[in-house]
Amino acid sequence: MFEQTDPNQIQLNCEGQLKHYLTTEGLSREILTEILDTADSFVDMGEQQVKKVPLLRGKTVVNLFFESSTRTLSTFELAAKRLSADVLNLNISTSSTSKGETLKDTLMTLEAMHSDMFVVRHSDSGAAHFIAEHVTPKVAVINAGDGRHAHPTQAMLDMLTIRRHKGDFAPLTVAIVGDILHSRVARSQIHALRTLGAAEIRVIAPQTLLPRHIEALGVRVFTDMEQGMKDVDVVMMLRLQKERMNSALLPSESEFYKLYGLSEEKLALAHPEAVVMHPGPINRGVEIASSVADGPRSLILDQVTNGIAVRMAVMSMSMSGQATEKQLQLKSGE
């Protein structure tokens, strides 16, 4: 576990622009809206004949994944390539860290290769912050998920998906359902929803899958799904993270589905125009019924498409923030 520091001391430059993207917590509504607006301009790029812009031409992006991932890694790689960057995917299982090299030494080696950005995924909370504090000033760091702490790009692709389908956040009641205890996605979603002004945020889970003092984040807590689902506008399901459970927190998957799985019957309790989301990968018949996941109210595939756009946005904004800071430093040294 890495020590936590105030992320905004390091993720913003002296002009308040992103130079690293580590967490949604503490970022202003203006910055989150800028991420959404920038991502919006990239969403339709996949439909174009030429799917590239030159914003990161000549830059080298290193995907530094200490934890396995398919969806997040592939979308970050595709986002970087659409920005015209050179991309290196570092296989940690065969890297020098598996032979005893320290994380700092690995970073110094990658910096010596003139890398410009590290996209970091790690099983320990605070890893991305640690790396951002120890890299050279010219390297931007993007958090692709750290322990139970944060997954800020996932949260913002969810926000983009909501905004594109619902417009203003102000009237919305959003329910986050499932394994809240182990979910870095839920924490990042809650911070983003609060900052963007959602009317009400609900978390729905069995008591064993709720963090202590979760109410302090400004959410309403429900352990009864039928009560929690009443009239909600957005339902955000979460994956059961069995790999992070070190004790029997659930009687069985079938019992969980019976009480907290999103079926057609439970969805009928929500607002008639409610939409359904899930960060993936989906456990069908455990967290959500196939008829709901594949149904007309599901935005799950939209989330994947929007994920590329959001990752393009934060990568381009972070590199721009790094460039601005460098220019200011050079100016002050004259």
Q: How many residues make up the chain in this entry?
A: 334
Note the pLDDT tens digit of each residue in 41-94: 999 887 888 889 999 999 999 999 988 888 899 999 999 999 999 999 986 755
Q: Is 102 exposed, middle or buried (0-12, 13-18, 19+ CB in 10 A)?
A: exposed
Note the pLDDT tens digit of each residue in 124-154: 899 899 999 989 888 999 999 998 899 999 9
Judge whether 27 and 46 are in contact, CB under 8 Å: no
- Is 52 flagged in the annotation as binding? no
Does residue 246 have a pLDDT over 70?
A: no
Structure confidence at residue 118 (pLDDT): 96
Structure confidence at residue 331 (pLDDT): 62
Q: Where are the domains of the chain?
A: 8-149+305-332, 152-300
- Is 206 flagged in the annotation as binding? no
- Is 122 flagged in the annotation as binding? no
Confidence of residue 245 (pLDDT cuts 50, 70, 90): very low
Specify the pairing of strand 234-237 against strand 173-177.
parallel
Structure confidence at residue 51 (pLDDT): 86
Structure confidence at residue 105 (pLDDT): 82
* Residue 152, number of CB atoms within 10 A of its CB: 33
Of 19-23, 101-105, 211-215, 253-257, give the lowest mean pLDDT range.
101-105
What average pLDDT score do residues 10-26 get?
93
Instruction: Give CA–CA dist 95/114, Å, rounded.
Output: 18
- Is 163 flagged in the annotation as binding? no
- What CATH number has the domain spanning 8-149+305-332? 3.40.50.1370
Note the pLDDT tens digit of each residue in 172-221: 999 999 999 999 999 999 999 999 999 999 999 999 999 999 999 999 99
- Is 329 flagged in the annotation as binding? no
- Is 4 flagged in the annotation as binding? no
- Is 121 flagged in the annotation as binding? yes
Q: Is 332 exposed, middle or buried (0-12, 13-18, 19+ CB in 10 A)?
A: exposed
- Is 187 flagged in the annotation as binding? no
Instruction: Give CA–CA dist 194/197, Å, rounded.
Output: 5
What is the 3-state secondary structure of the chain?
Answer: CCCCCCCHHHHECCCCCECCECCCCCCCHHHHHHHHHHHHHHHHHHHCCCCCCCCCCCCEEEEEECCCCCHHHHHHHHHHHHCCCEEEEEEHHHCHHHHCCCHHHHHHHHHHCCCCEEEEEECCCCHHHHHHHHCCCCCEEEEEEECCCECHHHHHHHHHHHHHHHCCCCCCEEEEECCCCCCHHHHHHHHHHHHHCCCEEEEECCHHHCCCCHHHHCCEEECCHHHHCCCCCEEEECCCCHHHCCCCCCCCHHHHHHHHCECHHHHCCCCCCCEEECCCCCCECCCECHHHHCCCCECHHHHHHHHHHHHHHHHHHHHHHHHHHHHHHHHHCC
Structure confidence at residue 42 (pLDDT): 96
- Is 72 flagged in the annotation as binding? yes
Does residue 21 have a pLDDT over 70?
A: yes
CATH of 152-300, one of 3.40.50.300, 3.90.580.10, 3.40.50.1370, 3.40.50.720: 3.40.50.1370
**C-alpha to C-alpha distances, 299 to 40, 212, 280, 303, nearest whole angstrom:** 16, 30, 12, 6
Judge whether 312 and 79 are in contact, CB under 8 Å: yes
Instruction: Give CA–CA dist 205/135, Å, rounded.
Output: 39
Structure confidence at residue 244 (pLDDT): 46
Structure confidence at residue 247 (pLDDT): 47
Structure confidence at residue 67 (pLDDT): 86
Does residue 334 have a pLDDT over 80?
A: no
Instruction: Give CA–CA dist 51/32, Å, rounded.
Output: 25
DSSP bridge pairs for 203: 176, 221
Strand order in the sheet with 234-237: 220-222, 200-204, 173-177, 234-237, 275-277
Closest CA to 235 of 151, 158, 160: 158
The first and second tokens of residue 262, run together, are: 């999103």
DSSP bridge pairs for 138: none
- Is 239 flagged in the annotation as binding? yes
Confidence of residue 5 (pLDDT cuts 50, 70, 90): low
Q: Do 152-300 and 8-149+305-332 fall under one CATH topology?
A: yes
